[in-house]
């Protein structure tokens, strides 16, 4: 079973055409063979494949041999910047649409939903409702919420709920990047900014003791965890001597880092091999970042080219995802 854990959709129920008077909704259209997502005052062209029509999306997945796809929201629609009730309203709409797709395509589509994390206590309650929906296995969250990263104690109610419910938590960069002019050059906001966001929040969670305190948490990091692995030595070294680095974490940072799960989307065979060797084959999952330009058109190929055993390949291509989300048949 090949399972793509990292794929996005804007269901028709969320698009602007469903309620033109609600200006938070994206206007998705094709012009000259290119897809354009209109959101606020931006015209986004990075979704280079179909993002609305589930039939077309599944056809695209069929072509690359993906047998089950885990659909998550477009991260720009998580709406943490909105008022709480507005975000709760749009989150529920998104979740109901995703659950509907899972019901419509059983065994082919599952989903990760969204919750209003600007209030972690409310998000914890919403997560419980979300996990009761058909075909929903967890939640996608952005790498930060209004400037706060996930080692912040305010998120403790959410982590408690996620651990108790067994929800898969997929951390995805916000795509807004950092307020530095250099990030607007050479596509650095995406190539560097996106993985850097994930790196920061994951390191923050580690050093704040989140992964140590909640050892049953299932947290998946996008894009191979960004640069987290390359910082392993620095984080461990700081914890050896620096009181600030030891303020909330007892064990070595590396022990917490190994509890994360990582998607395979690194675009480099050697990097993926190093990641698997470091964190273990049980902690790496296949991801494509469909339908975006920085995704992979053939995500399974890089895994097949690593020279892994048949058993280890099967784990990364789908077995690990099935185990984490209870999808074993």
What are the tens digits of pLDDT across the range 252-299? 999 999 999 999 999 999 999 999 999 999 999 999 999 999 999 999
CB 296 within 8 A of CB 265: yes
Q: How would you label 102-115 residue by residue, b for 16+ Cβ within 10 Å and e otherwise?
A: beebeebbbbbbbb
Q: Which homologous superfamily is 3-9+69-325 in?
A: Metal-dependent hydrolases (3.20.20.140)
Is the pTM here over 0.75, yes or no?
A: yes
Estimate the share of the chain in helix, then strand, then coil, as percent rounded to the nearest 5: 45, 20, 40
**239-261 pLDDT, tens per residue?**
999 999 999 999 999 999 999 99
Quick one: residue 32, left, alpha or beta (phi over 0 = left, psi -120 to 50 = alpha)? left
Quick check: helix, strand or coil at residue 31? Answer: strand
List Cα–Cα distances, 299 to 20, 128, 261, 281, 295, in angstroms: 36, 32, 17, 16, 8
Q: CA end-to-end span of the chain, whole Å? A: 10
**89-126 pLDDT, tens per residue?**
999 999 999 999 999 999 999 999 999 999 999 999 99
Which pLDDT score is estimated for 185? 95
Q: Which residues sit opposite 231 in a β-bridge?
A: none
pLDDT for residue 179 is more than 90: no
- pLDDT grade for 167, boundaries at 50, 70 and 90: very high
d(CA 92, CA 125): 12
pLDDT more than 70, % of the chain:
99
pLDDT for residue 25 is more than 80: yes
The residues, any chain, with a CB within 8 Å of residue 173's CB and separated by 6 or more, are 75, 142, 143, 193, 194, 195, 197, 198, 222, 223
* Enclosing H/E stretch for 73: strand 68-73
- pLDDT grade for 329, boundaries at 50, 70 and 90: low
Q: Give the residue extent of every domain in the chain.
A: 3-9+69-325
């Amino acid at each position: 079973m090949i399972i793509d854990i990292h794929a996005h959709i804007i269901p028709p129920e969320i698009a602007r055409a469903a309620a033109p008077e609600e200006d938070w909704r994206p206007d998705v259209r094709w012009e000259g063979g290119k897809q354009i997502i209109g959101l606020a005052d931006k015209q986004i062209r990075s979704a280079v494949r179909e993002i609305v029509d589930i039939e077309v999306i599944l056809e695209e997945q069929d072509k690359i041999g993906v047998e089950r796809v885990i659909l998550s929201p477009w991260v720009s629609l998580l709406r943490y910047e909105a008022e709480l009730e507005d975000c709760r309203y749009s989150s529920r709409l998104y979740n109901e649409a995703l659950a509907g797709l899972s019901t419509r395509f059983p065994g082919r589509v599952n989903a990760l939903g969204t919750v209003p994390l600007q209030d972690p206590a409310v998000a914890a309650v919403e997560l419980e409702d979300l996990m009761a929906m058909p075909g929903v296995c967890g939640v996608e969250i952005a790498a930060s919420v209004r400037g706060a990263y996930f080692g912040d104690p305010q998120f403790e109610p959410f982590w408690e709920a996620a651990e108790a419910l067994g929800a898969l938590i997929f951390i995805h960069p916000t795509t807004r990047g950092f307020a530095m002019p250099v990030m607007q050059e050479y596509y650095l906001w995406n190539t560097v900014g996106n993985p850097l966001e994930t790196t920061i929040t994951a390191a923050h969670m580690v050093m704040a003791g989140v992964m140590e305190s909640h050892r049953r948490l299932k947290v998946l990091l996008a894009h191979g965890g960004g640069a987290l692995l390359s910082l392993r030595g620095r984080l461990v070294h700081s914890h050896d001597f620096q009181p600030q680095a030891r303020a909330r974490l007892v064990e070595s940072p590396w022990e917490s880092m190994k509890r994360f799960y990582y998607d395979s989307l690194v675009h480099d065979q050697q990097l993926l091999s190093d990641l698997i060797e470091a964190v273990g084959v049980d902690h790496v999952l296949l991801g494509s970042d469909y339908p975006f330009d920085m995704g992979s058109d053939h995500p399974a190929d890089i895994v097949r080219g690593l020279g892994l055993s048949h058993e280890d390949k099967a784990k990364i291509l789908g077995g690990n995802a099935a185990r984490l989300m209870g999808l074993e048949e």
